[in-house]
A and B are shown apart, each in its own frame.
Chain A
Amino acid sequence: MRFQRWLQAVKNQTALAVGVLIAVAYGWYWLGGPVVVMQGLLLVASVLGVAPILMQAYQALKVKVVSIDLLVTIAVIGAFVIGEYNESAIVTFLFLFGSYLEQRTLKKTRESIRSLSEMAPQTAQVVADDGTVTAVDVDDVAIGDHVLVKAGGQVPVDGTVITGSAFVNEASITGEAQLVKKEVGASVYSGAIVDNGTLTVVANQVGDDTTFAQIVELVEEAQDSKSPAEKFIDRFATYYTPAVLVLALVVGLITRDFKLAITILVLGCPGALVIGAPVSIVAGIGNGAKNGVLIKGGEVVNTMAGIDTMVFDKTGTLTKGETAVAQVVNYAADEATVLKLAAAVEKQSDHPLALAVVSYAQQQGLTALPIVTHIETLKGLGVKAQVGEQLVRIGRAQLLTDAGIIINKQQRAVIEASQRAGQSTVLVAIDQTLALIIGIADTVKPEAKAALARLRKAGVKNLVMLTGDNEQTAAAIAREVGITEFHANLLPAEKVDYLKTYQAKGQKVAFIGDGINDSPSLALADIGIAMGSGTDVAIETSDIVLMQSTLSEVVYADYLTKATARNTVQNIVIAVGTVALLLLGLILGYVQMASGMFVHEISILVVILNAMRLIRFKVR
């Protein structure tokens, strides 16, 4: 056992030793030394070189796996037997050295993801109730613990700031290096680095539940998540290697040409083919992760590259979701009372429109909100809540009319005017009367128009906007952003229906939404893209997560996946082409064992280096 481990550990040194021996052997001979010495040195080199390979072949056989090592071992021993010490020595050297180079280059390819997981915080400074600070392993921090993070330190948990303020670098999560100011009440991510300032944070999520840990896990799994093509190649390789063995045997028996048979063993190694697609995917996904675009696997890359239709949600996706109350029209006796009721109810919701109402009430200085005893959400329509003696309904016009509440002509005119101005209207009704019409405005994301234009140019033929908001607002936003097809007043289920229609027409559809309200659409679309900013739901349900929540990231995802898919194809062509060339060379007599192995190793390196180009990929 120990000897085996040692043999593996010194594999690289062995490669070097073998190489040196070969060089010395040839050098000596060319300088006029006797052939015997050269042969002797090559023999030693062969034995030295084949040892680790033999060991690997043996271990594979023990678990019933026919590996490349077995093929090479047999070939080398075969060459040995017929006295071709130079062939055996060179083949072992090339195999070992090739393995070393592969390890080095693969390491570089996986670098982005490796550095991501290495950025994970290891320790936390936990503040006890009495104020003492102890250094604790990050896995031992409990929810509710207070942790102290000083300048230069890493936030060890997902949490909320309870004291202090600081500028924080969230690049490991969002991919954006701009410093963000965090003050009391702000939420911080595990993995973020405090640039200057000090924070005390109460832990909301710890260990493997933090957004950072989830991202790392997601990316690690994604690297190895195989597309159907890759799965096929894997299965192919499992049968292929034993098949080569059999083929060599058959050919050897038929032609009685031992040398030919063992050469087939060497040339038959699948090498570059097996590694071709996966290595491109790894590089592509790694690049994405570094830039805040989390792609969940090889299959996602291929599907995204073929998308021709992109469907956008409006609020929070095309617009900033930073809604603000633009106007309030009051029909009740006391506006303040109604606002208090509305704010109390809206406080229970995370919807951008609800947040706008709550912050408006706050700005008006309305505190001491009444208590909501019961609340019911009607998806797509609004909420219905019991506050003390009164029944409060907040939402769209349909919510009220369904309950028999009358909206008169003048009120409808107000709603209409507000919507034409591009506002979303929220109606507040107390018991059976319409009390307030609130107009809420949302701004379109500044990069929206440019991003959509680029997507169109990149080949995404259809850009569509689907929203639950009213027709007028939708029209205004669509105009501003450059979308010609849009549908408004939709319930979540109706959005899904539109997606189904497009797919039935044979279109490949991507849906871009904010993850919380759009789960059905994200799930049904060929590609679900979530502007999650790290929410758990977004990470779970979508295929691609955009950590910066910008539309430019959508463009990046599109360009990156297309480049990765192209790269994969290039690699497969190189791999298959090499095997074809080698076979041709064998038939024409140009290729021997050593030169065959050389070409084989070169093809593997070429494939890996080609994939590495994706690491430096950028969207100009």
Chain B
Amino acid sequence: MAKLVMQLDELSCPSCMQKIQAGVSQQAGVESVKVLFNASKVKTEYDETTTNPEQLTQVVTDLGYNVKSVKVK
């Protein structure tokens, strides 16, 4: 299990949170997703054999949210 923290631009709409939450959790290999609305961060635990940081970041970017930085734990 690897952990990833993505820092996004300011999130202002509650539905953004739902979109990102749904989008990332539907990815194969993702164990858990937590969207911190107020810190504008996405924390996720995933199986590194099935997916990787680049793929997960792409999902968020595709939804229309700019990922400012990624921290792999």
Measured between alpha carbons, how far is A7 from B66 in the docked complex, in Å?
12
Residues A1 and B37 in contact, CB atoms below 8 Å apart? no
Residues A99 and B38 in contact, CB atoms below 8 Å apart? no
Partner of B15, one of A1, A68, A107, A278: A68
Given the interface pairs A65-B22, A67-B15, the reply to whether A4 lies near B36 with Cβ below 8 Å is: no
Residues B13 and A113 in contact, CB atoms below 8 Å apart? no
Provide the B55-73 mask, 1 if CB < 8 A to any CB of A, else 0: 0000001111110000001
In chain A between 86 and 100, which residues have their CB closer than 8 angstroms to a CB of chain B? Answer: 99
Residues B38 and A223 in contact, CB atoms below 8 Å apart? yes
A-B interface, 4 closest residue pairs, ranked by CB to CB distance from nearest: A67-B15, A63-B22, A103-B12, A223-B38
Which of A54-62, A345-353, A363-371 contacts the other chain? A54-62
Instruction: Tell yes or no: A198 within 8 A of B by CB.
Output: no
Instruction: Tell yes or no: A220 within 8 A of B by CB.
Output: yes
Given the interface pairs A1-B62, A5-B61, A63-B63, the reply to whether A238 lies near B13 with Cβ below 8 Å is: no
Measured between alpha carbons, how far is A86 from B10 in the docked complex, in Å?
31
- Nearest B residue to A224, CB-CB: B36
Residues B36 and A60 in contact, CB atoms below 8 Å apart? no
Given the interface pairs A63-B19, A63-B26, the reply to whether A220 lies near B41 with Cβ below 8 Å is: yes
Measured between alpha carbons, how far is A68 from B18 in the docked complex, in Å?
11
- Nearest A residue to B41, CB-CB: A220
Give the chain A neighbours of B62 by CB distance below 8 A: 1, 4, 59
**Number of residues on chain B facing chain A (CB within 8 A):** 24
Most buried by A among B34, B37, B38: B38
Given the interface pairs A63-B19, A64-B22, the reply to whether A274 lies near B37 with Cβ below 8 Å is: no
Residues A237 and B14 in contact, CB atoms below 8 Å apart? yes
Provide the A270-282 mask, 1 if CB < 8 A to any CB of B, else 0: 0000110010001
Give the chain A neighbours of B39 by CB distance below 8 A: 110, 113, 117, 220, 223-224
- Nearest B residue to A100, CB-CB: B12
**Number of residues on chain A facing chain B (CB within 8 A):** 37
Give the chain A neighbours of B18 by CB distance below 8 A: 60, 65, 67, 238
In chain A between 1 and 48, which residues have their CB closer than 8 angstroms to a CB of chain B? Answer: 1, 4-5, 7-9
- Nearest B residue to A234, CB-CB: B14
Instruction: Tell yes or no: A221 within 8 A of B by CB.
Output: yes
15 residue pairs of the A-B complex, CB under 8 angstroms, read A4-B64, A55-B64, A56-B64, A59-B19, A59-B63, A63-B19, A63-B23, A63-B26, A102-B12, A107-B10, A110-B39, A113-B38, A113-B39, A117-B39, A220-B41
Given the interface pairs A106-B12, A220-B41, the reply to whether A59 lies near B22 with Cβ below 8 Å is: no
B56 to chain A, nearest CB (A): 14
- Nearest A residue to B73, CB-CB: A208
Measured between alpha carbons, how far is A4 from B60 in the docked complex, in Å?
12
Measured between alpha carbons, how far is A62 from B12 in the docked complex, in Å?
20
Instruction: Tell yes or no: A69 within 8 A of B by CB.
Output: yes
Give the chain A neighbours of B36 by CB distance below 8 A: 220-221, 223-224
B65 to chain A, nearest CB (A): 8
Give the chain B neighbours of A221 by CB distance below 8 A: 36
Provide the B1-31 mask, 1 if CB < 8 A to any CB of A, else 0: 0000000001011110011001100100000
Partner of A224, one of B12, B15, B19, B38: B38
Provide the B32-49 mask, 1 if CB < 8 A to any CB of A, else 0: 001111110100000000
